[in-house]
Structure 1
Amino acid sequence: MILSVIVGAVDDPHVQAVLERTDCRVVVLDAASLSKIPYAFRDRGLTLPDTEGKLVTISPDSDIRGWIRRIAPADWMMGVSGESQIAAIKASWLTLLTAIIRTTGVHWLSNIDEIVRAENKLVVDACARELAIPMPRTVVSNQVECLQDFATDAIVKPLGPGHFIEEEDSFTVFAQTVKIQDLKLHDLSVSPFLFQERLLALRHFRIVTVKDIISGATLENEGLPDDWRMAPEAHSSFKAREIPESLGVMAKSVASNLGLGYSSQDWVETTDGYFLLDVNPGGQWLFLPAPCSEPVSSEIARWLNER
């Protein structure tokens, strides 16, 4: 029987949605679960149990496909001090997992290097401009005068992770509007932030690409904050809609240029056309309406089964 690999947590609903549609034998592992199962990694080969508990071997000469969903749980490092013993132990598990990903010869839907590359917002910005795909004007600087191109206000986003943990609580850093005239040098020196032109969106698009398949939905912008994720009702308000051909072509071009077999992209439509806001190489899709989300799960499963 065909063997496939999924890097993620077996209880992740996104992983479960794919597993439900997969006919092949599947190994599911991440940095957290790897320590709880019997395994042996030698000569670029890995032996460990599949989801049914039967031992399988993954080696460079095997014809195996894989999908990287998430290498560790989102809260895996919660409460862990950067120089503690537990931090060193968890770093070792990540080192082992990334070695497995890079050396066992699995043909990944998206390679880990492309995933890491696409998680950098400035790389995505460079990709879009290389393809002549519209994006908001973007500046990263610790000099206030460099932001004067923005008339009065701009959208500010974290350049690094969009979430952090403090005192065992998890926080999300949302995009928000700032007044350029209120910014001080100190504000720009704490951490690098990404400043973008504030677009007046008519509607948002969440577009998901899986190889040549594209699926998506729209969210009307009326009454929403600049970052729609701040409105709880918005997460269940996306509507299934056929993606305009021109927008689909651009979304596929972005995914292809970044080397992503899977991508979750955020776009907006304005009176001036479509603009790319962000690309997430491991973004969520199950919150979208079933006509949009089910084809994504099915296509990932189909790709894992195909040889």
Structure 2
Amino acid sequence: MGEESDPHVREVANRVSSRRPLVILDAAGIQRIPFAVTAARLAVETVNGHGIAHLQDTHRGWIRRPAPADWNAGLKLGGKQAAVQGAWRALLVALLHNPACRWLTPLDALLAAENKIVQCRAAVRAGIEVPPITVTNDASEVSALPGQLVAKPLGPPQYWLDNGDPRIVFAAPVDAHDPSVAGLLAGAPFILQERVTAIRHLRVVTVGDEAWAFHIPAEGLPLDLRRSAAAHTSWQPLKAPDVEQKAVGLSAAMSIRYSSQDWIETANGVCFIDVNPGGQWLFLPDPEASQISAALAHWLQG
């Protein structure tokens, strides 16, 4: 489930056998293809020459991204277009809860896994080291925290201005003893996480019970790796069976069969930072990136 133009979706789709019907959908794309949904069946047009596919319990599905990133940009709450898109979203939710399809990661587990509080709670329960987090608008709670913190958005990290320009909310350093911090947190809930000194950053991608680890030195990189072009091109494979095993265990605990996880190595060991249940992997080096794509396609083919 994702946009046909998404290179990650296309990469996996190209590896799926042409002998099996292949359907690529998202909340925008479903408006452009024939479909029929009843209480007992789902029929939808394929993208690889199989005509109309009737999805049965032998089919498998992967939810990469249910809707375009700008799906709700510029919508007026309560307006006509919001109601129209709400109807398409309701149809999509029905398709994603189709009991006749086995999902790589079910929708409910995917949505829960996108919540950073849920992620950290699952990691702590699994015995994985996590820098302490707090979400609060209480000034006394903030002042009691260690001085050096990282503030992260609890909600979506991206939004659009009225003119359509996109904006990203990056993780940022925060001084807990700065009196202005409590006032800023009253506007929206943010995660305050104890800041740790990284020696290197780790990216661990999991598909089922398989995992691939990568690393990049932390020296010279910004706090939020998305700010650095080098952070998208400098990753190297890493043999880290202990971290890989923990990453697979965490994915299983959260019922997500695909994940892209961020970990940090410090002078005291490794700690978990966060997980993206639909994250990217094509920027990682080959042959490992191709192995990840192949593992996803292999699972979809059953």
* Range of TM-score over shorter length: over 0.9
2:183 aligns to what SS in structure 1? Answer: helix
5 Å-filtered alignment, 1:48-63, equals: 48-53=44-49, 54-59=51-56, 62-63=57-58
2:118 is aligned with 1:123: yes
Please, which of 14, 19, 43 is the counterpart of residue 13 of structure 2?
19
Counterpart CA distance in 1 for 2:179 and 2:299 is: 48
Amino acid across the alignment from 2:124: R
* Aligned 8 A contact 1:217 1:292 in 2: no
**1:36 matched residue in structure 2:** 32
Deviations 1:106-142 (A, max 9, x none): 0000000100110111111111111110011111111
Please, which of 129, 137, 143 is the counterpart of residue 132 of structure 2?
137
**2:83 matched residue in structure 1:** 88
Amino acid across the alignment from 1:283: G
Please, which of 225, 229, 235 is the counterpart of residue 226 of structure 2?
229
Structure 1: gaps of 5 or more residues: 1-6
Amino acid across the alignment from 1:172: I
Counterpart CA distance in 1 for 2:179 and 2:250 is: 33
**1:197 matched residue in structure 2:** 194
**2:155 matched residue in structure 1:** 160
**CA offset at residue 183 of structure 1?**
3.7
5 Å-filtered alignment, 1:1-307, equals: 7-23=1-17, 24-53=20-49, 54-59=51-56, 62-167=57-162, 168-184=164-180, 185-242=182-239, 244-306=240-302
The percentage of aligned residue pairs carrying the same residue is 37
**CA offset at residue 228 of structure 1?**
1.3
Amino acid across the alignment from 1:305: Q
* Aligned 8 A contact 1:158 1:175 in 2: yes
* Aligned 8 A contact 1:154 1:177 in 2: yes
Counterpart CA distance in 1 for 2:170 and 2:269 is: 24
**CA offset at residue 25 of structure 1?**
2.0
May I ask how many residue pairs the two structures share in their alignment?
A: 297
Counterpart CA distance in 2 for 1:151 and 1:305 is: 49
Deviations 1:38-95 (A, max 9, x none): 1110123111210035111124xx3111111111111222222222211111111111
1:68 aligns to what SS in structure 2? Answer: coil
Structure 2: gaps of 5 or more residues: none
* Aligned 8 A contact 2:213 2:244 in 1: no
Counterpart CA distance in 2 for 1:44 and 1:143 is: 51
TM-score by length of 1: 0.93
Counterpart CA distance in 2 for 1:186 and 1:227 is: 23
Structure 1's 183 and 25: CA in aligned 2 closer, same or farther, altered over 3 A? farther
Amino acid across the alignment from 1:19: A
* Aligned 8 A contact 1:207 1:264 in 2: yes
2:62 aligns to what SS in structure 1? Answer: strand
Counterpart CA distance in 2 for 1:253 and 1:35 is: 38
Amino acid across the alignment from 1:190: G
* Aligned 8 A contact 1:9 1:73 in 2: yes
* Aligned 8 A contact 2:134 2:191 in 1: yes
TM-score by length of 2: 0.95
Counterpart CA distance in 1 for 2:24 and 2:132 is: 41
Structure 1's 257 and 287: CA in aligned 2 closer, same or farther, altered over 3 A? same
**CA offset at residue 225 of structure 1?**
1.0
CA RMSD of superposed structures (Å): 1.3
2:119 aligns to what SS in structure 1? Answer: helix
Amino acid across the alignment from 2:41: G
Counterpart CA distance in 2 for 1:40 and 1:151 is: 56
